[in-house]
Structure 1
């Protein structure tokens, strides 16, 4: 009974997280009277609906079994419903309006699709397939890495090679980040380059953008950029709307920045699965949920007061395939993707070396100052100094523990999850995911799941320079504005992830 009450309390704290995010964005709004509450409502509805399909999809399917048992009955009822409505339309409504029959046909087909999707948990099955696909990508990547690096290229090879010499200690050396994770970045970059060359990704991005633009009253350019951020990085996604960047309104520009801060590119998600053991389904759910969340929160903080260039006519994707400097064939696309992946892998390696060493340096300085303070104080003051956290990570954990708690993390684990969130904001999400993998066994399944959502975004203090430099190079006239909005974009980007984590926490 007590355990059930604790679970219900954790779910209710997730509701507090949702309310806190909305209230904070309202308080930070530049012009509160211009907030479009339809955008806010639809942003919440889309996120909650998608989270329900991912986290509670099987439950919904079982509920349908109570009323529509068996697959055949579902098809039969749908067909009978379609025939009945078409009969009514043809006999009574069609003579009144020529467009009515086709309108009703579309509605019926849409209703059937929704019923089938809910009954058979189609979204859940799709994300299970993505999860299995990610696992296969890791295996294929290790095949290429093993060819280049030998036994160092796969964890299994390392275990086999060192099991005789090290015995039980083999596990401590079996995983080598440089040889087993970085090659995955190269392989995935090559895959996505081929997909973009073949034109597979562009229709998906346009479909997502059109869906959000219709329901959330956002312009074509900003929704296209937000949709692209699901699959691309924070500096690559703006390339899809390059012709429109110079004329974006301030609100559109802020939405572009927030979207870059709260998303992780699909190509890097596979690496997070490798280093932290997180569930690919929740990673993909996070990047999709934060798409409407980014629009919703950015439009609250900086509402649209101008007239966007693409408000009515939408925006066309600026495709690399149409560029004269683009790949000439599939082989060229794969090779270019591998080269770009190599640069990204080298950047990740350099960043990890520098940042992890920086953490050690900061902890060393912090520890020395703490020891010095203890040595030069006495009595109650010394007791206060002794209670100060031993490391920067612990300090961040205490600072962000309340944030973790309102997303649904139990208070006993809030400091650990708060530490991860602080690490993500101060350094970056990659370091945070590595730390998450180290403490996976210490967290409950719910806290681990919520952490997956909290960390799934590029937004950090270091990302301000990346955003200002990358997007600023595409539109130099907006560079000062990009820099001025940078800190606020990081804040709202992180809050988009907190909102997604809170929704997931309520439903888990």
Structure 2
């Protein structure tokens, strides 16, 4: 029965993407079929073997060293400003210090790769390899992998030189990839909250799921001429920079991204908190905004293969991720597992866990739009205009990944 519901669920989620398609007749279903088959194969290997977990752990460890170097620079300048933790309340400046400011260092490394002409080479050939599977452009293919390594704000620094030349339809796909995945910098934190095999499975499935949904919602074909123009998209009249001119530019770009993303997060999260407060004020007893969304999400949770008895609770956790972030939702899962409360079956916990591993939430609209706006004001406004459509697609990616994982749980 679970398999039948899962198949129906996949069809429904693909149809929900197709309903929002900008060109329904141009969807290339053959590529989508290939990528779905790859997802099923990868889900089997990742959930039934341990090799994938070891690989991601090694990559996360390597990225952890880079963040350690970044921390030294942050502590030298801002170390005395961090407010100490009080009881269960974490340090007030932890997110800005530990997550946003290291972008400055990562940006410097990206600039060095760009200056040495290594980054365009990687974009061209890694993108070419993956584009053979997904039928999309080389830049889109590279960007999805880069987003999974660097993160949803840092990845746009890696294509800073190409950003002004990217048309709206391709920009949607690039930002969708960034929202659909997560970065290696926080994989270690996820491992402490939910089972690592679910984290790894979600990372890999979301990579292809992002291509699937973007190919349906936003189908297009990239010509060789356009591809070369964008990938090599540096102005021919651009002044040749010295190494230290380039380094200073990228360091400042990284800092601008950190500050603008912080501002966007403050505004978005505060508005969401206000919405929660307004709804809570007019709802009786234990009913709150998350509970209401839980009932809305329950049918969708059921379509991922979760039993109906678990669907409302699972839907509530999924909704929590959407309106706040994945960390808050993972805490709910963690409390269920550690408390052994029986609120959710083991299978439901696995499916929900896979769903949670992505940046698909309202605040990510602000993060991505802010990151791009700091690099190119006009393109940032373009992203902000299709923000809700971006979140819609990224959420469908999470549903598809969770549904496919459910076949092997």
Same fold (TM over 0.5): yes
What CA deviation, in whole Å up to 9, does each residue of 1:130-177 have, x standing for no partner? 689999999xxxxxx9xx99xx999xxx9xxxxxxxxxxxxxx5x553
Equivalent positions of 1:72-151 (< 5 A) are 123=52, 125-127=54-56
**Aligned equivalents of 2:27 and 2:176: distance in 1?**
17
TM-score, with length taken from structure 2: 0.75
Name the SS of the counterpart of 2:373 in structure 1.
Answer: helix
Q: Contact 2:111–2:246 at 8 Å: present in 1 too?
A: no
**2:331 aligns to what?**
434
Q: Contact 1:396–1:418 at 8 Å: present in 2 too?
A: yes
Equivalent position to 2:178, from 260, 277, 280: 260
Equivalent positions of 1:48-87 (< 5 A) are 48-57=40-49
**1:507 aligns to what?**
408
What CA deviation, in whole Å up to 9, does each residue of 1:5-52 have, x standing for no partner? xxxx33442222222121222232222221122321232133222222
> 2:252 aligned with 1:302, yes or no?
no
> 2:213 aligned with 1:324, yes or no?
no
Q: Contact 1:219–1:314 at 8 Å: present in 2 too?
A: no
**2:296 aligns to what?**
399
Check 1:445–1:176 CA distance in 2 against 1; reply closer, same or farther (3 A cut).
farther
Check 1:216–1:227 CA distance in 2 against 1; reply closer, same or farther (3 A cut).
same
| Matched residues, number | 388
Q: Contact 2:147–2:183 at 8 Å: present in 1 too?
A: yes
TM-score, with length taken from structure 1: 0.62
Equivalent positions of 1:33-52 (< 5 A) are 33-52=25-44
**Aligned equivalents of 1:39 and 1:361: distance in 2?**
44
**2:239 aligns to what?**
none
Check 1:312–1:345 CA distance in 2 against 1; reply closer, same or farther (3 A cut).
closer
**Aligned equivalents of 1:349 and 1:311: distance in 2?**
33
**1:463 aligns to what?**
364
**Aligned equivalents of 1:353 and 1:464: distance in 2?**
11
**Aligned equivalents of 2:322 and 2:90: distance in 1?**
22
Check 1:134–1:234 CA distance in 2 against 1; reply closer, same or farther (3 A cut).
closer
Listed as ranges, the gaps of 5+ residues in structure 1 are 1-8, 59-120, 139-144, 159-172, 328-332, 372-388
**Aligned equivalents of 1:234 and 1:294: distance in 2?**
13
Equivalent position to 2:144, from 226, 250, 256: 226
**1:178 aligns to what?**
91
**Aligned equivalents of 2:46 and 2:140: distance in 1?**
26
**Aligned equivalents of 1:302 and 1:205: distance in 2?**
21
**1:18 aligns to what?**
10
**1:290 aligns to what?**
206
Name the SS of the counterpart of 2:187 in structure 1.
Answer: helix
1:495 deviates by 0.4
What CA deviation, in whole Å up to 9, does each residue of 1:422-471 have, x standing for no partner? 12222333332333333334433322222222122222233333333332
What CA deviation, in whole Å up to 9, does each residue of 1:233-279 have, x standing for no partner? 323212222222233233311101211221222212333334xx112
**Aligned equivalents of 1:478 and 1:131: distance in 2?**
31
**1:449 aligns to what?**
350
Name the SS of the counterpart of 2:152 in structure 1.
Answer: coil
1:402 deviates by 1.1
**Aligned equivalents of 1:476 and 1:342: distance in 2?**
15
**Aligned equivalents of 1:241 and 1:252: distance in 2?**
13
What CA deviation, in whole Å up to 9, does each residue of 1:284-335 have, x standing for no partner? 33223212221221121121156465536883699xx9673538xxxxx9xx
> 2:19 aligned with 1:27, yes or no?
yes
**Aligned equivalents of 1:353 and 1:251: distance in 2?**
28
Check 1:469–1:345 CA distance in 2 against 1; reply closer, same or farther (3 A cut).
closer
Check 1:250–1:435 CA distance in 2 against 1; reply closer, same or farther (3 A cut).
same
1:395 deviates by 0.7
**Aligned equivalents of 1:470 and 1:186: distance in 2?**
11
**Aligned equivalents of 1:237 and 1:195: distance in 2?**
12
**1:86 aligns to what?**
none
**Aligned equivalents of 1:467 and 1:137: distance in 2?**
22
Check 1:42–1:393 CA distance in 2 against 1; reply closer, same or farther (3 A cut).
same
1:490 deviates by 0.8
Check 1:356–1:222 CA distance in 2 against 1; reply closer, same or farther (3 A cut).
closer
Check 1:11–1:185 CA distance in 2 against 1; reply closer, same or farther (3 A cut).
farther
Check 1:456–1:502 CA distance in 2 against 1; reply closer, same or farther (3 A cut).
same
**1:66 aligns to what?**
none
Name the SS of the counterpart of 2:247 in structure 1.
Answer: coil
CA RMSD of aligned residues (A): 4.6
**Aligned equivalents of 1:38 and 1:363: distance in 2?**
44
Name the SS of the counterpart of 1:409 in structure 2.
Answer: coil
